[in-house]
Amino acid sequence: MTKRSFVPIIYIIFLMLPIYWLLNMSFKTTNEILGGFSIFPREFTLDSYRTIFSDPSWYMAYVHSLIYVGLNTLFSIAVALPAAYAFSRFKFLGDKHLFFWLLSNRMAPPAVFVLPFVQLYSAVGLHDTHIAVALAHTLFNIPLAVWILEGFMSGVPKELDETAYVDGYSFPAFFGKIFIPTISAGIGVAAFFCFMFSWVEMLLAKNLTTVAAKPIVAAMTKTSSASGYELGLLAAAGVLTIIPGAIVIYFVRNYIAKGFALGRV
């Protein structure tokens, strides 16, 4: 233990405090929450969680979220893989401009796209479906996946490709049997980031759905309007949204920084 290691410890304590407070609230009854300030729940209760797991409008919202997040990750990775390969291996007409144009979509504020998206997806008959949200989120996830995968692919020597072609592999066979297994870590990281940014986004997800595909981030807004302000329920729902993230983080812990640096550290 050196003096220095206190800095990260204090920082982590600061990070954990609001999460603890949310957890604390989720185990209290509504009366106790509104009754006053307390560091621990005095009447420990699982009622809020019980409500969520027994009410379809709550637990189905988690299912809806997981469906579109999964679809989005699948779409993004599937189309980003060949594109990232092209960017990492070849020069072609307009490649640099195309690359920046892709990145520019990661910079687009969702607020700009909300209204046109609602109109676009209503026009093609996809409003209030999982596919609409999954497709809308590819706007920022495809560019991100291309960037991360391109970074990882640039680290693979080109001799690998050339040797495979000499050995008589066709491009699809090489790509599927040799190249994809080689960059599986990169694919994992890209998938993690697609998962993450689709999971945390609310503005588009909320406005593109009404009932049939209503995600958890939209369902949570009802606690403030329905019967007063049900803080306990809100807190429990919040705690449950953190769990999937905590699970996937564990698998990519050593690569997460590399992913944020778009595969370029």
Q: Does 231 bind another protein (CB under 8 A)?
A: yes
Q: Does 74 bind another protein (CB under 8 A)?
A: no
Q: Does 238 bind another protein (CB under 8 A)?
A: yes
What tokens appear for 80 in the block? 């980003």
Quote the least distance from Cβ 119 to another protein, whole Å: 7
Phi-psi region of 75 (alpha: psi -120 to 50; beta: other; left: phi over 0): alpha
Q: Does 46 bind another protein (CB under 8 A)?
A: no
Q: Does 158 bind another protein (CB under 8 A)?
A: yes
Nearer to another protein by C-beta: 185 or 202?
Answer: 202
Q: Does 37 bind another protein (CB under 8 A)?
A: yes
- Binding segment for another protein (CB under 8 A), chosen from 41-49, 51-59, 180-188, 192-200, is 192-200
Q: Does 60 bind another protein (CB under 8 A)?
A: no
CA distances (Å), 30 to each of 68, 164, 222, 240, in order? 32, 65, 16, 18
Half-sphere exposure of 31 (CA within 13 A, CB side): 5
Quote the least distance from Cβ 177 to another protein, whole Å: 17
Q: What are phi and psi of 17, to 5 degrees?
A: -55, -50
Quote the least distance from Cβ 60 to another protein, whole Å: 17
Residue 235 · residue 83 · CB < 8 Å: no
Residues 95-154 that bind another protein (CB under 8 A): 95, 98, 100, 102-117, 119-120, 135-136, 138-139, 142-143, 146, 154
Residues 11-30 that bind another protein (CB under 8 A): 11-12, 14-19, 21-22, 25
Name the residue among 145, 144, 137 with its Cα closest to residue 65.
137
Residue 137 · residue 206 · CB < 8 Å: no
Q: Does 183 bind another protein (CB under 8 A)?
A: no
Q: Does 250 bind another protein (CB under 8 A)?
A: yes
Contacts of 76 (CB under 8 A, 6+ apart): 138, 141, 142, 144, 145, 190, 194
- Binding segment for another protein (CB under 8 A), chosen from 42-50, 52-60, 178-186, 253-261, is 253-261
Burial of 129 (0-12, 13-18, 19+ CB in 10 A): middle
